[in-house]
C-alpha cells in the first residue's frame, strides 16, 4: 500500500492504549480527510508490538532529525548571507570614506 497526503498544521496523531495499541495519523484536522490507522492482530505478543513501535519511533526520529538539520543549515546560510552583506556595506563605506 502506498498513500500520499500533504500535512498541514492541523494534522493529528492519536494512539490507543495497550492491548489495542492503535496508531492513527491524519494529515489535517478535517473529519473527512484520509487517515492511516495501524493496528496489530489481537494475538500479537506485547514484545512484538513494542519492537514494531520502537522501529516506527526510530524512523520518525530520523525523519524529525533530518528536518531539524535542514532547518539549521538554512538558518546558518541566512545568517552567513546577512553577515556577508553587512561586511560588504562596511567595506563600501570604508572605501567611500578613503576616496
Any residues with CB less than 8 A from the CB of 21 and at least 6 apart, and which?
15, 39, 40, 49, 53
pLDDT digits (tens, 9 = 90+) for 58-87: 999 999 999 999 999 999 999 999 999 999
pTM of the shown model: 0.71
pLDDT digits over 25-46, tens only? 999 988 888 889 999 999 999 9
Amino acid at each position: 500500500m502506498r498513500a500520499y497526503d500533504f500535512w498541514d498544521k492541523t494534522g493529528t496523531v492519536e494512539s490507543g492504549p495497550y492491548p489495542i495499541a492503535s496508531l492513527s495519523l491524519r494529515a489535517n484536522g478535517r473529519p473527512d480527510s484520509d487517515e492511516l490507522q495501524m493496528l496489530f492482530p489481537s494475538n500479537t505478543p506485547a514484545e512484538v508490538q513494542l519492537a514494531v513501535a520502537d522501529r516506527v519511533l526510530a524512523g520518525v526520529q530520523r525523519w524529525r532529525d533530518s528536518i531539524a538539520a535542514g532547518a539549521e543549515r538554512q538558518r546558518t546560510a541566512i545568517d552567513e548571507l546577512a553577515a556577508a552583506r553587512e561586511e560588504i556595506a562596511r567595506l563600501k563605506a570604508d572605501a567611500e570614506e578613503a576616496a
